[in-house]
Amino acid sequence: MIDYKTTVTDLNAQLEASQVELAALRQKILEAEILQAANLALTQSLDLDAILETFLDLLYQVIPFDSATIMLLEDGARLVARAVRGYEKWCDPALARAVSFNFTTTPSVNEVVSQQTSFIIPDTRQYPYWVKVPSSEHVCNWLAVPLVVNGRTIGIYSLDKAEPSFFTETHRHLAEALAIQAAMAIQNARFYESELAARQKAETQANQLDALNRMAQAVTSVLDLKTILDIAAAEIVELLDARSCGVALLNPDRTLLEVVAYATLGNEPSAVGLVIPLAENIATQQVIENRQTIVLADAQNTPLQNDATREIMRTRNTQCILLMPLLMRGEVIGTIGPDTDQVGRVFTQEEVRLAETIGSQIAGAIDNARLFREAREASEAAELARAAAEAANESKSAFLANVSHELRTPLTSILGFTRIVQKRLEERIFPQLQAGDPKTQRAATQVEENLGIILTEGQRLTTLINNVLDLEKIEAGKMDWSLEPLALAEVIAQATAATASLFEQKGLSLVEELPAGLPQVSGDRDKLVQVVINLISNAVKFTDQGMVRVRAQVADGEIRVSVTDQGIGIAEADQPLVFEKFKQVGDTLTDKPKGTGLGLPICKEIVEHHGGRIWVESALGQGSTFAFTLPIDNLRRTDD
């Protein structure tokens, strides 16, 4: 038969066991739910304080403590209270918040931190090592749990109960489970906090650097002071988080400041044009005289400024103003004044330092801009002068080309018809004249002579035009030079042949002293012939009787060619002038010029183009020697 009694007992036992299991299961579910909620809550935020508060909320829901403290490890050994709860019932919570101690000094805490185990003191009155502090007078039952991340203790939290033996193993178990999640969240928050701080610091620095760079770039690209100051004011407002910033310049006698630049984030009217006298404004005076930055925390009431200035501050709702000297080349030229319009917003020491850094940047920028401007103005002026000279030269060239053209056409008619008239007279008319009529004969002779003069002077005019064009071309660098190896003897021979008729006309003799085997030169044959012709015809022109000597010799790696006459000579003072354009020596009003005034200047240009020199040796009444040199071409000799 069935032993009902035993069976019932068994069933009861089983039921009881099931109920215990069920309770345990429920507890587990509850714990899981709590952990899940904790996980969710603790990952909601990255703000450390918010996380600690959330954690204390959660703890209280599952372990109804009387008071609790979360302490975090700082500097390796010091535990510092970061969040407290529930102390107001027993003491001033500030006492609990102020708790900070070396964990090794308290055995129970030391064990929690070092061994990373939770610790329960069922009754502190029975515990010999309990350390009493003002905020722990009420604590009877104590549960402490380590906060561990990756094997490292970052802090602990402790729960207090004013009655003994309240905390159970279940509580301890839950507290440990929650500690794991809390530690992770705390670590994340701290990491984020330091990361954030570093990033903010880096961002601030980057912003400042950026602004300074921007300012430096901007001011080097603008030339006027006011634009630089406008930019500076705007940058200061941004960097100092100021309401506005005005920049004022001192007047010439340094008695007034006038605001010339202004930037603002608000919508109050511009301060540009505001005039602030230095008299009675002690703070402003000090800024200018001592080059000192001054912060007026209560700008509307400061005794350091006068009534009028304080009134301006009130009108503009300026709360705090920073006054900083503006320097140019080491001189104070004005002030920079950022301000705030929020009560209690006073510029910090750090902001003052930043402002001063910006101030020195502005000073440097102003100096740079000034130097830049001066350099640019100088080079612009030089460029303008050069362009003007070039334009003048171009228009001169064009003018000369046109004048030349306009002169040549009538000259062609004058010379051409004169020549035709001359021929007609000689060939057809003079032979028809009655021989023996002296008057007619004399007239015929005069007509012939006059026609000769017209032709000669017309040719002189032609030469002058050609010389003007030649000189202009050489000076403008437009002359075509055809350089070739030349035997100088040939050049001289060509020139003497061309001038032979001049010697005949004046009955002068030509003496040539040309040594054999003269070295070659590199040169433009036609132009060198032109030089020698010019010197010889000059010599003939100024010599009335005697001879003209042409000599060539080698000396110091050069060939020297000289043409000596027995003419009137040239005074020493006049000698340098003969190579200048239109500077014929002598009084042009009384002495009739005999050349174009351009022959020697052209000779000089030609000789110098060949790398030689030209000069005159003379004394009044003793004739002149015109000489020029040419570099020898590779020391080759013509007879090689």
Partner 1 sequence: MTKVLIVDDEAYIRLLIEQTLEDLEDQGVEILTADNGADALAIIQEERPELVFLDVMMPKMNGFDVCQAVKRDLKMEDVHIILLTAKGQEYDKQHGEQVGADVYLTKPFDPDQLLDMAQVILKV
Encoded tokens for 42: 């603790």
CA distance 441 to 429: 12
Contacts of 170-175 with C-beta under 8 Å, sequence gap 24+, read 170/27, 171/63, 171/143, 172/118, 172/120, 172/143, 172/145, 173/31, 174/31, 174/34, 174/62, 174/63, 175/59, 175/63, 175/118, 175/143, 175/145
Encoded tokens for 334: 């004005």
Minimum CB separation of residue 410 from partner 1 in Å reads 8
- Report the residue number, 217 or 413, with the smaller CB distance to partner 1: 413
Minimum CB separation of residue 478 from partner 1 in Å reads 8
- Report the residue number, 416 or 593, with the smaller CB distance to partner 1: 416
| Residue 628 CA to its chain's centroid (Å) | 53
- Report the residue number, 265 or 429, with the smaller CB distance to partner 1: 429
Dihedral class, residue 147 (left if φ above 0, else alpha if ψ from -120 to 50, else beta): beta
- Report the residue number, 484 or 580, with the smaller CB distance to partner 1: 484
CA distance 173 to 135: 26
Angstrom distances, CA of residue 633 to CA of 488, 611, 612: 11, 11, 12
- Report the residue number, 238 or 475, with the smaller CB distance to partner 1: 475
Minimum CB separation of residue 405 from partner 1 in Å reads 4
- Report the residue number, 217 or 456, with the smaller CB distance to partner 1: 456
Beta strands across the sheet bearing 119-121: 100-102, 78-85, 67-74, 152-161, 141-149, 119-121
Minimum CB separation of residue 505 from partner 1 in Å reads 19
146, β-bridge pairs? 156
The footprint of partner 1 (CB under 8 A) covers: 401, 404-405, 408-409, 411-417, 419-420, 458, 462, 466, 469, 473, 480
Minimum CB separation of residue 534 from partner 1 in Å reads 18
Minimum CB separation of residue 400 from partner 1 in Å reads 11
CA distance 172 to 118: 7
CA distance 70 to 82: 6
The continuous run of DSSP H or E covering 27 comes out as helix 4-42
Minimum CB separation of residue 484 from partner 1 in Å reads 17
**Is there a contact between 222 and 228 (Cβ–Cβ < 8 Å)?**
yes
Minimum CB separation of residue 413 from partner 1 in Å reads 4
- Report the residue number, 370 or 473, with the smaller CB distance to partner 1: 473
Pairing assessment for the beta strands 275-277 and 331-340 based on DSSP bridges: unpaired
**Is there a contact between 584 and 595 (Cβ–Cβ < 8 Å)?**
yes
- Report the residue number, 150 or 409, with the smaller CB distance to partner 1: 409
Packed helices 525-541 and 599-609: angle between N→C axes, nearest 10 degrees: 140
CA distance 503 to 540: 7
SS3 550: strand
Instruction: Render the burial of 596-613: b for 16+ CB within 10 Å, e for the rest.
Output: bbbbbbbbbbbbeebebe
CA distance 567 to 544: 7
- Report the residue number, 405 or 442, with the smaller CB distance to partner 1: 405
Minimum CB separation of residue 474 from partner 1 in Å reads 12
- Report the residue number, 524 or 565, with the smaller CB distance to partner 1: 524
Q: Rg of the chain's alpha carbons, rounded to an integer?
A: 56
What number of other Cβ atoms are within 10 A of residue 227's Cβ? Answer: 15
- Report the residue number, 408 or 581, with the smaller CB distance to partner 1: 408
Pairing assessment for the beta strands 509-513 and 547-555 based on DSSP bridges: parallel
Q: Which amino acid is at 542?
A: F
- Report the residue number, 256 or 400, with the smaller CB distance to partner 1: 400
**Is there a contact between 395 and 463 (Cβ–Cβ < 8 Å)?**
no
- Report the residue number, 405 or 637, with the smaller CB distance to partner 1: 405
